[in-house]
A and B are shown apart, each in its own frame.
Chain A
Amino acid sequence: MPALSEPERSAGPVEEPALSGPERSAGPVEGTLRLAHLYPKLMNIYGDRGNIMCFERRCRGRDIAFELTELSLGDAFDPAAYDLVFVGGAQDAEQRRVADDLRDVKGEALREYVEGDGVMLAVCGGYQLMGAHYRSADGAQLPGVGLLDLWTEHPGPNARRFIGNVVIEWEGETLVGFENHGGRTHLGPRARPLGSVVTGFGNNGGDGGEGAVYRNLYGTYLHGSLLPKNPHFADHLIALALAKRNGDVRLAPLDDMVEEQAHSEALHLATRRSIIRRGG
């Protein structure tokens, strides 16, 4: 699978945080990170809780206060009330209910948040819903919220499902995780891939891209959970999220020995050729 060329990866617009105030503090921050977890009961299929636990742990370890708000169906989203938004993956039936709520209740406020450079991470099903539409295996069309310039189509019930360990290259580093999706995601010109596939399938198994980025909205198929064993990516999102109200931030280092071991173990297992494939 060809990796994306360097210029392509960095072609998308990455804008400076719009609201950086005059008093930028360069030292370690003591602020508050206000996280909104969208649809925690409906969209929580692949250990997504680990991502929330990771945000919390990596804030508290640095004396950054952490406030978690869970927003479900029918709850309004206030774009000014959060520094970070997370949405996970779901089963098909639940995804349909969430799609309706995104369209009717939260969509416009989320658009305002994202266009105002609000930081957001959408994983798996949540990632698909950020696009224009999702066409399921039976051909039914599920409209997305359209915050990311992409669409996802399932080629049909007999198509190969993309399942397995995955490694992508992101900003010169690696992200490790597990992917499990039938839909093929295609990016339009206003979104750039999050990274290039080192091993695994990525967005569509064809163009070597994985995930999508638009402003500070990040979408990806990687779960595992994603963030605990990719602490550099977690910190990137936390720093971005804090920067909006605190100016540029430098996060104090944490003891990541176990995190790094888990990362390199996953990297090793995903990139070596799997010889042992015995069944149950």
Chain B
Amino acid sequence: MRLTAAIIAARATAALSRGLRRGGGTALPGLVAERVDPGLERTLAARLGQGSALVTGTNGKTTTARLVRGICREAGLRPVANREGSNMMRGVAAALAESASWDGRFRAPGKRVGLFEVDEATMPLVARAVEPRAVLFTNLFRDQLDRYGEVETVATLWRTALRSFPAEVTLVLNADDPAVASLSDVALGRVVLYGVDDETQAGGPLEHAADARWCYACGAELEYTVVFYGHLGHWRCPGCRRARPTPDVAVSSLMTADDGMSVTLTTPTGEVTVRLPLAGLYNAYNAAAAAALAVALGIETGAIERGLAGATAAFGRQERLTVDGRAVQVILAKNPAGVNQVIRTITADGAPKHLAVFLNDDIADGRDISWIWDVDFELLSGNVASLVVSGRRAWDMALRLKYAGLGERPDVEHDAALALRRAIDATPEGGTLYVVPTYTAMLDARNILGRWAGRGAFWEGDG
């Protein structure tokens, strides 16, 4: 009874909030459903015939979860997934409530699999409620220190949660991130590892954003034979001899192609080569992560290949729109490690780029903006054809970019629409404008650009 009431309430809220065109209507329905029936996630998750998998970590959650969804569909499964950006418990509740029928049953229950992207700090709570078959940890970077606290706080939270996981849970871990790979020390069940073997992708010395420089177990400074980005690479601890474990799923080669890349993955069941419409090494990690989770779920190689090949960009993650004859690409900026990867990807071909950078300091962006000083914006120097700076903390960003050598007289425009207009006008027809916003600025920018590009409202962008 209560469950039905919760589902009805969630659906009504979702419909209403979409009708009012408010923020994609992602959080509220779950909140309402949880209020009506607090045990809803547990009840509904238990009815998913294929169980659930969680995707957590600092960067790559949304894209990876999206890739896994595509793979599951190719494997004939019917995923139940939360919408991007709603990765707290209420987002999971909303996804379950909206996918179930009025009586709390799923159509084709035997093919149903829950795929939930969850916030790093919320993961233990969600895991207790939905009792997942597998949990994927992408990476652990410095992110919104005002919200999550220190990196070590999150790592400790994860280790504590893992100790209470049943042995049936498979962990999918990034072998190249020492903070994530070390979670296998406390794993009670099976572990599937993924990583990058292709050493030609090395990114040089440790960046300023590198965090896990120290062995969590013995405190020694880690040594690297290859650093890919941030603290991801082929690492070993000279103190206690822990070292990067050999991945089960590995990126054995990566080749940049027009509008994307070609990635070859080695898996336990064979090699897979796919062309992805996504660029950048970080997306190769996302592809490897998705394949590793699919392996953990027992999905065959053919479905992995087809699922990855059919991928499209997630909302605000290298999503492409066309406005007034210019290609506009929106790439979310979240934290130093992520932005460093975005910059490397944008500047890879050496041609000067047109940019609009947005810095907000709302809770979802991180109220503390000091992280911009840990980003290697210096890599943009000499690679910028035009630049507009916007967002609530536009002048802080302008100052950071001035330090990076991008000019003493930056073009600052606080109004998002005016800033985007100016940036588009500064981009020649046929050219590409890169819009790099923080989270809440991304929602605004995406809405404005979507309107100009004649696309539907933004919640339809993430299918």
Contact = CB atoms under 8 A, between A and B. Distances in A.
Given A49-B208, A53-B403, A261-B412, A280 B439 contact: yes
A25 interface: no
A262 B371 CA distance: 15
Given A47-B371, A224-B370, A41 B213 contact: yes
Interface string B145-162: 110001110000000000
A276 interface: yes
A269 B145 contact: no
Interface string A216-240: 0000000111001100000000000
B368 A262 contact: no
Given A49-B374, A50-B370, A97-B219, A279 B396 contact: no
Most chain-B Cβ atoms within 10 A of its Cβ — which of A54, A91, A92, A163? A91
Contacts of B399: 228-229, 258-259, 261-262
Contacts of A224: 368-370, 396
A93 B408 contact: no
A278 interface: yes
A225 B373 contact: yes
A224 B396 CA distance: 9
Most chain-B Cβ atoms within 10 A of its Cβ — which of A94, A257, A280? A280
B364 interface: yes
B21 interface: no
Contacts of A280: 85, 362-364, 439
B395 A261 contact: yes
Interface in A232-280: 255, 257-259, 261-262, 264-266, 269, 276-280
B214 A94 contact: yes
Interface string B345-372: 0000000000000000111100111111
A214 to B, nearest CB: 25
Contact of B361 (A44, A49, A269): A269
Interface in A170-198: 178, 180
Contacts of A259: 399
Nearest to A265: B395
Nearest to B393: A265
B87 to A, nearest CB: 9
B370 A257 contact: no
Dominant SS among interface residues on chain A = mixed
Contacts of B299: none
A163 B151 CA distance: 17
B30 to A, nearest CB: 13
A3 interface: no
Interface residues of A, number: 41
B398 interface: yes
Interface residues of B, number: 40
A86 interface: no
Interface string A37-52: 0000100111111100
B392 A269 contact: yes
Contact of A180 (B151, B214, B219, B368): B368
Contacts of A225: 370, 373
Nearest to A41: B213
Contact of A92 (B85, B152, B368, B369): B152
A279 B86 CA distance: 11
Nearest to A73: B221
Contacts of B192: none
Given A258-B398, A262-B399, A277 B374 contact: no
A164 interface: yes
Interface in B362-403: 362-364, 367-374, 392-396, 398-400, 402-403
A279 B26 CA distance: 12
Interface string B200-233: 0000000010000110000101000000000000
B396 A265 contact: yes
A117 B90 CA distance: 56
B280 interface: no
A223 B396 CA distance: 13
A74 to B, nearest CB: 11
A163 B398 contact: no
B145 A45 contact: yes
A45 B150 contact: yes
B328 to A, nearest CB: 24
Given A178-B367, A180-B146, 5 more contacts: A41-B221, A50-B370, A53-B403, A93-B214, A261-B398
13 contacts: A50-B373, A53-B373, A92-B150, A93-B214, A228-B400, A258-B402, A261-B398, A261-B399, A261-B412, A262-B395, A264-B395, A278-B362, A280-B364
